[in-house]
Structure 1
Amino acid sequence: MRKIGRRASWRGCARAAILTAKGAMPMNTTTTDAHAAANAESAANATPQAACRNCGAALLGDHCYACGQPVKGLVRPLGNLFGDLLDSVFNVDTRILRTIPPLFAKPGFLSTEYFAGRQVRYVTPVRLFFFLCIAAFFFAQLSFQIDPDTIDVDGKGNSSDIRGATTVAEVEKRRDAALAGFAEAKQNMADTPAASGIPGIEAGEQKVREEAAARIKQLQDAQAKGEPVPEAEPDENKLNLSINGKRWDPKKNPIDKAWLPAFANRWLNDQIVRGNRNIERLKQDPSAFKDAVLSAVPTTLFVLVPIFALMLKLAYLFKRRLYMEHVVVALHSHAFLCLDLLLVLLVRALEQWLAPNGGALAGLFGWVEGLLLAWMPVYLLIMQKRVYAQGWPMTLLKYCMLGFCYTILLSFAIFASMAIGLVAM
């Protein structure tokens, strides 16, 4: 009982002390009124929080967190749009300055940085490859031209003239002139991006030989029978295609595959007809064919990137990497190849500008160009070693396998680009 009484007395004393202190502290009514007035003024001046115009959710930034609609749309002053465009371009350019040096000089660096999560400081792989690919092949179109004389030979050596020759000596003369023109064309295209068209030139050479041999046989048979010189037959198969062992003809022997629908067969025959017609234009304007082929190459490379990534996936199946990781490696590899090709073209352009007559400076440019070309396979090998971190023996084996398969794939892609260019020119 005594303890309970003591506790009660202590509580009473504490309560009395608090009341006394409150009574001893005078209330500052002026300060309280000022705070109340400030709160009232801020409440009166407070603006309602902005809401998304699409879904009505409260906006917390430049994009709605609920639906993703941006706050800034296209319906605003043109000056603001132009400023945003310059800001975007400047941002990309800044990242390019941080991306291009390691892309060229540090094999595998960008891919490993991307996998480590350090991504925003560099240009994205897709944008990097797209930019360099377009820049490289656009500059390739501007950097060289094809002389029409190397293709048409002044109209004295093409297939139609060979078929129109009336003597064996005339056939041989026109055949030799056409072959000389093709040889000069191949020499001009060697070691340039247009070298992808050399197989087409060689196919043209074979066709000239066949046309000359057929015309000589016609003339000799007619002479042996005592008949007049046969007239030249129109050639509607300038591409020298064969269907079921016979020369293609749009009416007598067209493409007619049973496993294809009728419209697909018609489309294929129409494309061949268009390509045959463009051959005559090619003789007059070979640059049109060159531009069409080089314009088709970037699209072809975009198709090759996921295929090459699939090849990497199969080669490193036990690494348990995601397919998209191989896509990043493929994009960086092709971006480097486009960058290196662009540098080769720039060096060649400088050589033609600063050393058109040869000399020591031209030799120096030749060495630089050779080093840039040699850096391509070395770079890809080192990149493959650093990204996948395997021993040198396995890396070399897989590098050779991938290189062989990709070379075959690239050859088909080049022929496809040539076919697309011939039809699209």
Structure 2
Amino acid sequence: MLHPPSTREFLHEFIGHYVALEGKLWKSLLLLLFRPGQLTLEYINGRRVRYIQPLRLYLTFSLIFFAVMKYTGHDGIKITPADHPVAAAAQEKDKTKPELMREDEPGEIANGTAELRQGIGKINAHWGEQADRFSRMSMDERNEVLTTAFYGYVPYAVFFMMPLFALCLKMLYLGSGRRYGEHLLFALHANGFAFLAMALMMVVPNVLGIVSWVLGLWLVFYTPVAMRRVYGGSRLATGVRWLVLMALHLIGITLAIGAAVGFGILR
């Protein structure tokens, strides 16, 4: 007969579950960080029970990345006129932070997008009204809308790029015998690592500039090292495939982010 668990039973179950999850997490992290591609191979070869699921790993690190970006002020989501004294002071204080949009003079965005807004209005009247509304907003109101749109939709847009990333790998490795699901595993692990590395670059103290340099260097070379471990092939062939993959992914990410922010403005 079922009975409510006692405090001791509850704690025993909770601690057991936590230790098991923690063990999986550390094993997954060690492979993900220091042996590029090995975690993917472990899954492909059926050794999955001891590791965190790829989708959960990706979602966790992507959420951490966007949260860190938002709450540490690294997003650079701003519209600032060049002659705005507050903006000028902020730029002088932190010249490394880019702006999503910039006005060299007040009203430049509204004037420069008049034809675009008319075209949007012809496609969808509601979208046209929202675009006109955005163009009439003050600088602070636009920044608020952009920030809301970015954090509300960009994480989803980036996530939906993973199947495309895997498709690019499938095309680059035609004849390798790898199934699409295996390419998707690689995509989740590689991009999960990228989110983790970028989050660490924002929060770990940059001692003498070394930490960011090391993390940035590892971020650049991680994917080709992982590709060679999982798919094999010469260094030259892997390097060429990696360059094509990164070019396609960069184009896709840029379009996805633009579409997500645009959707957030026009919805």
Establish whether TM, by shorter chain, passes 0.5. Answer: yes
Tell me how large the CA RMSD over aligned residues is.
Answer: 3.7
Instruction: In structure 2, give the amino acid aligned to 1:181.
Output: A
- How many Å apart are 1:132 and its aligned residue? 0.8
Matched, 1:373 2:213: no
SS of match in other structure, 1:317: coil
> What does residue 276 of structure 1 align with?
135
Distance 1:274 1:332, change over 3 A: farther
**1:421: how far off?**
5.0
Question: How far 1:185 moved relative to its partner?
Answer: 4.4
Alignment partner of 1:117 is 2:70: no
Q: What is the match of residue 255 of structure 1? A: 121
Q: CA deviation at 1:285?
A: 8.2
Instruction: State the AA in 2 paired with 1:336.
Output: F
Q: Report deviation, 1:139.
A: 1.6
Aligned partner of 2:178 in structure 1 is 321
- TM-fit CA distance, 1:90: 4.6
Matched with 1:330 is: 187
Alignment TM-score, normalising by the size of structure 2:
0.81
Is contact 1:137-1:295 (8 Å) kept? no
Aligned twin of 2:113? 241
2:244 is the alignment partner of 1:401: yes
Instruction: Name the CA distance, whole Å, in 2 between partners of 1:314 and 1:105.
Output: 27
Q: 1:392: Cα distance to partner?
A: 1.6
Question: 2:87 matched to which residue of 1?
Answer: 181
Find the aligned partners of 2:21 and 2:42 in 1 and give their Cα distance: 18
Match of 1:238, SS state, is helix
Q: Which runs of 5+ in 1 are unaligned?
A: 1-49, 51-71, 153-157, 159-175, 212-236, 258-264, 352-361
User: How much does 1:298 deviate?
Assistant: 1.9
Contact 1:99–1:123 (8 Å) recurs in 2:
yes
Q: Which amino acid aligns with 1:256?
A: K
Query: 1:272 deviation in Å?
Result: 2.0
Contact persistence 2:150–2:264 (CA under 8 A): yes
1:107 aligns with 2:36: yes
The reply to whether residue 419 of structure 1 matches residue 255 of structure 2 is no
CA separation in 2, counterparts of 1:186 and 1:416?
31
**Structure 1 residue 371, shift from structure 2 partner:** 1.2
Higher RCO (C-alpha under 8 Å, 6+ residues apart): 2
SS of match in other structure, 2:52: coil
TM-superposition CA deviations, 1:193-237 (whole Å, max 9, x none):
xx4xx3523xx33xx3885xxxxxxxxxxxxxxxxxxxxxxxxx7
Cα 1:273–1:284 change in 2 (3 A) is closer
CA contact (8 A) 1:255 1:269 kept: yes
Among the aligned pairs, what percent are the same residue?
A: 23
**d(CA) in 2 for partners of 1:247, 1:285:** 17
Corresponding residue for residue 92 of structure 1: 21
On the 8 A contact 1:151/1:181 being kept in 2, the answer is: no
1:344 partner letter: M
Amino acid at match of 1:323: Y
Indicate whether 1:200 and 2:72 are aligned: no
- Is the 2:134–2:142 Cα contact (8 Å) retained in structure 1? no
Any idea what SS the aligned residue of 2:150 has? helix
> Alpha-carbon deviations, 1:137-162, whole Å to 9, x = none?
112211127899x856xxxxx6xxxx
Deviation at 1:393, TM superposition (A): 1.9
In the TM superposition, residue 89 of structure 1 has moved relative to its aligned partner by 4.8
Map of 2:160 onto structure 1: 303
> Aligned in 2, Cα 1:119/1:271: closer, same or farther, shift over 3 Å?
farther
Distance 2:38 2:225 in 1: 10
Letter in 2 for 1:367: I
| 2:215 maps to 1:346 | no
Contact 1:293 1:420 in 2 (8 A): no
**Per-residue displacement from partner, 1:78-126 (whole Å, max 9, x unpaired)?**
9799766775555333311111121111110101111111101000100
**Where does structure 2 lack aligned partners over 5 or more consecutive residues?**
none
* 1:1-25 CA distance string (max 9 Å, x none): xxxxxxxxxxxxxxxxxxxxxxxxx
Aligned to 1:190: 96
Q: Which moved more, 1:110-119 or 1:90-99?
A: 90-99
Distance 2:95 2:6 in 1: 47
AA aligned opposite 1:268: W
Match of 1:133 in 2: 62
Letter in 2 for 1:177: D
Give the whole-Å Cα distance in 1 for the aligned partners of 2:183 and 2:252: 18
Name the CA shift for 1:109/1:420 in 2 (closer, same or farther; >3 Å). same
**Cross-structure match for 2:125:** 266
